[in-house]
Amino acid sequence: MRKKSRYSAKYLDRLIEEATVDAYNESEQAGGFFALIEEHLAMPFATRVLGQEVTVAKVDMTNRDQIVAICSHGKVKQAISVLDLPMPDPPPEGAEWIDAYRRWHGD
């Protein structure tokens, strides 16, 4: 199910261009998004995953070029794809980069 973005398609397309401008393949493009999400997303922030409040402390990139949010609830930590991560309302500063990544990814 496609998540509705708060941002215009034109704005997200500009962010996509910025993230992918010097990338030669999808792996490098994903790396560009990771760098910009890590740089601009205000962390930590709280959100809800499966009805539980979690804290997103950082983002990481898997060996398969998937960008994940490292979420914690108490002592438990879990990596959740930012494609699937519910954003709080209002979203944290820099959340537009996640929306741009979702648009680029086709989600």
Mean pLDDT of the chain: 93
- Map tokens 């979203």 to a residue: 91
Report pLDDT for 2. 46
**Cα angle, residue 6 at apex, residues 81 and 106 outer, rounded to 5°:** 45
Distance of CA 84 to the CA centre of its chain: 9
Q: Who's near 54: CB < 8 A, 6+ residues apart?
A: 46, 47, 48, 71, 72, 73, 78
pTM: 0.91
For the stretch 46-65, pLDDT in tens is: 999 999 999 999 999 999 99
Question: Which contiguous run of DSSP H or E holds residue 73?
Answer: strand 67-73
For residues 73 and 65, is the Cβ–Cβ distance under 8 A?
Answer: no
Determine contact, residues 100/19, Cβ cutoff 8 Å.
Answer: yes
pLDDT of residue 64: 95
